[in-house]
Every structure is written in structure tokens, then in C-alpha cells.
Structure 1
Amino acid sequence: MAEAFAVECPGGGETKGHMSDHAGTIGVHCSCGVSFSVDIEARDVDEWWKRD
């Protein structure tokens, strides 16, 4: 069964959660204006940028 986890947004500290542990990378868009990718295997933010 897949586990779920959450990460902290690098822009504002908001918790973005309930991601499943399938292989790969997913993109997340936070309400603070930051977009970031999450490395599912590492369960951590891969890279991030501020949206215009």
C-alpha cells in the first residue's frame, strides 16, 4: 500500500500534503506564489521558483 507524506513550501512554510510515494517527480503550486517540484523518492523539494 502507498504511503502519503507532506512537504513544507520553500516560499512561505505552508504544508503541502497528501502526496503518494509513487516513483518520479511532481509539481506543486502554492498560494504564496511559489511553484516547486517534489522528488517523490527523496520526499523533499527538488527545485523551486517564484511565479510572476
Structure 2
Amino acid sequence: MATFAVDCPGCGVSKEHMTTTANQIGVHCSCGITFSVNIDEQAVDDWWERGES
């Protein structure tokens, strides 16, 4: 299975092992950023800072 990595737009940590066979990928980083990944472009699509609950 093909995989790729993207960097978190908040802290720059590489998030690895994303699969190219997924329909949609969402990532919750420990730095407080949530982002979605454009699988076709293998890049961060949209991101936002999570608020405190």
C-alpha cells in the first residue's frame, strides 16, 4: 500500500503513513491543530486550531 507524509502546519512535525487509498484523512496533532489532507495532492488542505473544551 502506498503511503505519504505531510507536516503539521502548527508545529512542523511530520505525520507519516498516510494512505493513498483513503477517501478522507483528518489529523489531530498534539500541538492543538486539526487539519485535513488532500490525498490527490498529498498536502494539507485546510487547518484550524482546536479550542479548549
Q: TM-score, normalised by structure 2?
A: 0.87
2:5 paired residue number? 6
Distance 1:33 1:49 in 2: 9
Structure 2: segments with no counterpart, 5+ residues: none
- 1:30 corresponds to 2:29: yes
Q: TM-score, normalised by structure 1?
A: 0.89
| Runs of 4+ with deviation above 6 angstroms | none
Structure 1: segments with no counterpart, 5+ residues: none
Count of residue pairs the alignment pairs up: 51
Percent of aligned pairs with the same residue? 55
What is the alpha-carbon root mean square deviation over aligned residues?
A: 1.0
